[in-house]
Structure 1
């Protein structure tokens, strides 16, 4: 059950919507020391009945389910339940706790209260007695039933093994198959004894008439937080709340959280103020009545139980609870009246979905927006990484340091000219030492090229990763997601992947220099060349050699050796060279983009596994709410 976040208005000056529960208290003065709180209906039953102790008249009549007899309505509610049940919320991210609480609240009420009453017209009327610790709920339940069905006092101070009293003819309906299926239960045998913590005790007794059940619920203000939710589960499944609080605890915030839920859902409600002292009684009742009025509960049926020691066998003696028994007898005694009570609560719950389901959708939207923000950070970071790499690949900035030095060594040694030779001309064989030296210079240039390309990609990826981690940590819960992403197996393999991609790219470039039609026909008839060396020359040119030189870069003053572009144009011609260059550059960009996509996978996986709601889930909730309005 949802807990309102706002504090209750306890000043008596507030104003809110009023609602009633049908008949109010039976009398302003029923029996000695037992009175209804001022504001109750003075036209109620004037005298306390001393006859049967059961709360309602015996008989087989049962109330009709307070919902449209329409398969369409059932289908719409079932679809709404499915939409809510399938929702996911990302643990630790904003709105997760609020969303899950509201999800569980609405889902439980759909499953445990609404749908059973739509599908069966003969459901027993469930009256839940709830309230504060030590308010005497169990004593009141025993007194209303007329025999001991639940234990009281120190043996069960927190009442977390709730007891449901009903006629034996109705006990099967409250089995796991029909009533709160997820809740374990045990059937009471003999004298009332508490069940295990968190277990429902079913007490079948002939003292209860068919068609009515009375439930002694856990304390709403128990020191154990789990008991609050347990109590809320039963209240969400009840047709009528009898809320009991004491003269010393009626102003507690927890009491008003539950009462305000009853107000917001227009639940059929009776309020009992117990342990009322004789001294200052009228002033206390007036103040409590003013608080009910201020919080929109002025029309709730109100009762008072005096501070008394008239208890025997865990029941009130004399006529202490007669006025409450008479009220329940009138409320639930006839099928028509039962139907009126349950229908009011049912309609109130359905009406509450107009705000509760859209509020759940807003929690979903907030999580979706958080996920979208986190995802955008990843997109932007790796888009920026791609731009940085792309710029570095063409502006000549890589042609510095070791790569520039190795290129100058190859260019100055005449290695490029030696890689070209006229067809049919016998060339002087170089000595082994000279060949080894030449191979070392080319290998050194190749290593320097791969190191430079690897460094620029690694730097861009690290920058993107750091940026994502920093921005994710600015979002509550985002730091944990970033940690999960960075701890995923497979991270740290970037350098190895880059070297493999560069090696394959070099092979592709070398292949492009020798494909059919790639060279100028006039040159190809007379010249052969070392394709691997020419591929290196082409790569140096692609990396912006001419742009860096004309712009005064690090090698602007270097004139040793031929220009890469001049040599390449001589071999391939301008048009063919342009085509080869564009194809090679696109190939490299595609490979770099693939590397970046692989690097972002841990972040994408962390988001995908976080449980963030899907983009259309909020829309589906709004649609389900609209369908419910149409079908009701």
Structure 2
């Protein structure tokens, strides 16, 4: 399978270079990135560290969750938007890094933080906002989405039903990537908090999204408003404990981790024909348009060539050419010169007589 995936990546690269428009090139480029940065490395090594990506919309509290899990102020938080301009990865000092993390670090798009707060079998990334005003941030967030083994999705009580976050969740569903979700800043009143959580559970169930295993619904962690630790610029330890517990259960259980990785990989491979099929359909339409243009050009050329043949048969084509040459010969400049020379000779003759 690895060789087939590598060949697919090569073909997608060629498609991206020759696509007739930017949108088609971007589709091929994104799918190629998914193949090269997730499918190939994960298929080659199911036991590589789990790659977890924290995704969320602007101001949802992704960096606060990241800092809370790390127990340290590692990722910038605040009111300035977008706050996260460069992705940050947390890993233990001895952890190996996924290829996409190595590549992004080389490109200057990601900073790796080696810290004892990290895990040896898990690398977690605080991604930029996927709805950022900066296109580069949106592109990076989607690139990380395509490479993740597990997504921790962060939203708020006022934005959990927004269209843009759900476009990301639907893509996660297409990929079949396991999800853990966090609703931040829940209202203090228990009845209000329950209303939000129940509605979010309903939306997740209708979307048929995948939890930490194929048979488990998506887990939703509720975080109350104001659960912030000023010392770490992150969520409090109690607030992030359910997320930490879920991640550490995967770290401690190699078989559970392998099952999750296999689930993510198999789902991504199952979705691959959809992405490839979309590109093939585009190329078929382009080929049809190309053939139609060639047909139109050939018909126009053949018709004109037939007209020329008819004119040659009637002699009108050559007659027209001879007339054109004669008209050039007796053109205004040549006639004027002949007349001028004739008048000059007559004048000279008259002067000679007198």
In the superposition, the TM-score normalised over structure 2's length comes to: 0.82
Equivalent in the alignment of 1:84 = 12
Is residue 2:41 matched to residue 1:113?
no
Alignment check: 8 A CA contact 2:101 2:110 kept: no
What is the CA-CA distance between 1:273 and the residue it aligns to? 1.0
Q: How does 1:191-340 map to 2 (within 5 A)?
A: 199-279=109-189, 280-297=192-209, 299-313=217-231, 314-340=233-259
Q: How does 1:179-578 map to 2 (within 5 A)?
A: 179=100, 182-185=103-106, 199-279=109-189, 280-297=192-209, 299-313=217-231, 314-398=233-317, 447-448=325-326
SS of corresponding position for 1:164: strand
Q: 1:328 to 1:276 in 2, by over 3 A?
A: same
What is the CA-CA distance between 1:179 and the residue it aligns to? 2.8
SS of corresponding position for 1:377: helix
Q: 1:148 to 1:376 in 2, by over 3 A?
A: same
Q: Deviations over 1:192-212 (max 9, x none)?
A: xxxxxx620000011212111
What is the CA-CA distance between 1:369 and the residue it aligns to? 1.8
**Take 2:204 and 2:223, find their aligned partners in 1: how far apart are those partners?**
17
Q: How does 1:52-201 map to 2 (within 5 A)?
A: 73-87=1-15, 96-154=21-79, 157-170=82-95, 173-174=97-98, 178-179=99-100, 182-185=103-106, 199-201=109-111
What is the CA-CA distance between 1:330 and the residue it aligns to? 1.9
Structure 1: runs of 5 or more not aligned = 1-72, 187-197, 404-443, 452-632
Larger radius of gyration: 1
Count of residue pairs the alignment pairs up: 320
SS of corresponding position for 2:160: coil
What is the CA-CA distance between 1:217 and the residue it aligns to? 0.4
Equivalent in the alignment of 1:476 = none
Structure 2: runs of 5 or more not aligned = 211-216, 330-354
CA RMSD of aligned residues (A): 2.6
What is the CA-CA distance between 1:333 and the residue it aligns to? 2.3
SS of corresponding position for 2:223: strand
Q: 1:378 to 1:243 in 2, by over 3 A?
A: same
Detail structure 1 runs of 4+ shifted over 6 Å in the superposition: none
In the superposition, the TM-score normalised over structure 1's length comes to: 0.48
What is the CA-CA distance between 1:360 and the residue it aligns to? 1.1
Equivalent in the alignment of 2:342 = none
SS of corresponding position for 1:393: helix
Q: Relative to structure 2, which stretch is displaced further, 368-377 or 379-388?
A: 368-377
